Structure 1
Amino acid sequence: MTATEQTEARPRGTRLPRRARRNQLLGAAQEVFVAQGYHAAAMDDIADRAGVSKPVLYQHFPGKLELYLALLDQHCEALVQAVRQALASTTDNKQRIAATMDAYFSFVEHEGGAFRLVFESDLTNEPSVRERVDQVSLDCAKLVSPLIAEDTDLPEEQSMLLAVSLCGLAQVTARHWLSAGDSIPRDVAKNLTAALAWRGIAGFPMQH
């Protein structure tokens, strides 16, 4: 059930436990931010979408930026966790790359447009937002880098550079795939991207 459906099913003013109310507000804010962007979104719009008064919204979030950052933190952590789980799902590095690609495609497809907050934010001139956007890419690359080092015996700095490249390939390709209207089935798109990445990494033989 979406935040909008939850709101329609619950009369305005119904009291919720604090955590449930916070999650409801975050869901409503995500819909508004994704649809309108940060600058065009208003706290009034978010309160209306959540079916609460603006004072209730301010009880949980001091302002629009704090609300946006809370959403950003939530979805950055979701992506990092998805990549971590993908890498832990197998001990075969070829399959790890495929699973990592799938994690990015899944994030882009299934997070209610949240990837736009992470990768297409209209607020990247705000240092606190830029820091988070940069950090999530770095965190994902840090998870991948040791496996590249293990598979290629490249030095740490070079392995990290390749990891950043691989994660960048994953997110840019997944976003393009979605914007193209799913004309290529997701599994086909993911497998094509994984094959390109694996053939690239496999081109770095073990150094002895």
Structure 2
Amino acid sequence: MSSLTGVADGRGARLPRSARRKQLLAAAQEVFVANGYHAAAMDDIAERAGVSKPVLYQHFPGKLDLYLALLDAQAEALAASVVAALDGTDDNHERIHRVLTAYFDFVDRDDHDGAFRLIFESDIVNDPEVRKRVESVTARTMRAVADTVAADTGLRRPEAELLATALTGSAQVVARWWLASERPVTQDEAIALLESLLWRGISNFPRTGAPATPGA
């Protein structure tokens, strides 16, 4: 039974549609992260959310629709975090620190929900819709960094994007390795080490409006 203001699942609970959708997404995230896409079942997601399957299907016609909705939400969260990190300061050393922190925080959230796996370790990445979303968030974060690199160094766009890819790629790969290795050093120490490595390289490109020549 449904209405404009809420959805009842036959178990006595009625929530506004937006609240119910949020509840279903949270339950689905737990199941997808724990089991992967292929092993996850809509029955399990409905049970985790405490609703009937008809209620689940009222919001999401199928498992892929539910997964894509989750992927969209997580991709937006990561992209917004990286953009905020860049916009929060004019100091490029601090920008690197903040971008790295954004990736580490995304991978190692306080509740350890493992949501980053939906983007970086998906077992359905070969699906065209999933691949498109993964590539989109990767490109969006890279372009945000490249915009800053190009503006501050005068490098041509391809050169700026190459450096931006190195920075964002290093951030997510190292953050995932660090978590998988059971945090062998503190997060602050890990970020400081990677920050030092990356800054030593990118600081060779001076802030200038004139085109820079790498290695000059």
Q: Where does residue 84 of structure 2 map in the other structure?
A: 85
Report the aligned-residue RMSD. 1.4
Greater Cα radius of gyration, structure 1 or 2? 2
* Higher helix content, 1 or 2: 1
Task: Return the alpha-carbon distance in structure 2 between the equivalents of residues 178 and 62 of structure 1.
Answer: 34
Deviates more, 1:69-78 or 1:104-113: 104-113
Contact 1:79 1:107 in 2 (8 A): yes
Matched, 1:58 2:57: yes
Displacement of 1:193 in angstroms is 1.1
Structure-2 residue corresponding to 1:71? 70
| Deviations, residues 18-41 of structure 1 (Å, cap 9, x unaligned) | 000000000000000000000000
Q: Which runs of 5+ in 2 are unaligned?
A: 1-9
| Per-residue CA distance 1:137-190 (angstroms, 9 max, x = gap) | 100011100211133221011101111111000000000011111121001101
Instruction: Give the structure 1 partner of residue 108 of structure 2.
Output: 109
Question: Once structures 1 and 2 are overlaid, which stretch shifts more, 53-62 or 158-167?
Answer: 158-167
Q: TM-score, normalised by structure 2?
A: 0.88
Which residue matches 1:136? 137
Counterpart for residue 5 of structure 1: none
Output the amino acid matched with 1:56.
V
Unmatched 5+ stretches in structure 1:
1-10
User: Where does residue 152 of structure 1 map in the other structure?
Assistant: 153
SS in 1 for 2:37: coil
CA distance in structure 1 between the partners assigned to 2:12 and 2:181 by the alignment: 41
Cα distance, 1:203 vs structure 2 = 2.7
When the two structures are aligned, how many residues end up with a matched partner? 198
In the aligned structure 1, how far is the partner of 2:66 from the partner of 2:19?
A: 15
Distance 2:21 2:12 in 1: 14
In the alignment, the residues of structure 1 paired with residue 31 and residue 78 of structure 2 have an alpha-carbon distance, to the nearest angstrom, of: 21
- % identity of equivalent residues: 58
> Does the 8 Å CA contact 1:13/1:52 hold for their aligned counterparts?
no
Separation in 1, partners of 2:58, 2:68: 16
Residue equivalent to 2:7: none
State the TM-score, normalized to the length of structure 1: 0.92
